[in-house]
Amino acid sequence: MKTISKALVLALALGSAALAFGFVLFAVSVTRDDASGWDKADGIVVLTGGDNRIEAGAKLMSEGRARRMLISGVNRKVSREEMQRLLSIDKQLFNCCVDLGYEALDTVGNADETRTWAKSNGYTRLIIVTSRYHMPRSLAELALVMPGVALLPYAVTPRRFPETAWWLHPSTTRVLLSEYLKFLPAVARLTAQRLIDWHDGQSVAIMPQKRTDG
């Protein structure tokens, strides 16, 4: 009995240590600047919910980085006219090439809304615009529903995010921890789906072919 108890305590301790280490890696990765560049894409998708995201999407659109832009999760009270003024981009460009999604209420909804939009337009390469801390979970949810689409992250730094030493800022640490705990089940679902797809692919590959020569 004591051996079982010790094993449980050890497993709990190792699990807690792994979670803590994973959180540190997560926090460091989403607060680090990355200057990686990439080419143009079919479309730009802005996930609402944080500051600087819409402005960043408008900048990319004005630079001609994609053909169309979807702003996913727009408040139903915001009209197209109000959004156009907020974006501060050419009215003609806005009317021809900016779509507003009003259905998404969370990140899972963003993924579903993006999938529908990308499929209807035949897009297979998307620039994803969202906050740095929100990007890992967003990519996981999007990849889960759009496995064949290339997702190019454009991470935006929130105005109040500290440039260094995030651990010295309790409010930032709380945001990062909350997002990390939401990210874990999202990446677990994505991993499980990819394992299932891999297993199904392996099963099809090794299935014996039927003879047709009589």
**For 212, which DSSP code?**
-
| pLDDT at position 3 over 50 | yes
Q: What is the mean pLDDT of the chain?
A: 82
Please give the pLDDT value at position 89.
83
Q: How far apart are CA 98 and CA 93, in angstroms?
A: 7
CA distances from 177 to 12, 38, 140 (A): 19, 29, 17
Fold of 32-158+170-195: Rossmann fold (3.40.50)
DSSP for residue 134: G
Note the pLDDT tens digit of each residue in 140-183. Answer: 999 999 999 999 999 888 877 766 666 667 777 888 888 889 99
- At 74, list the tokens: 């727009």
pLDDT at site 86: 83
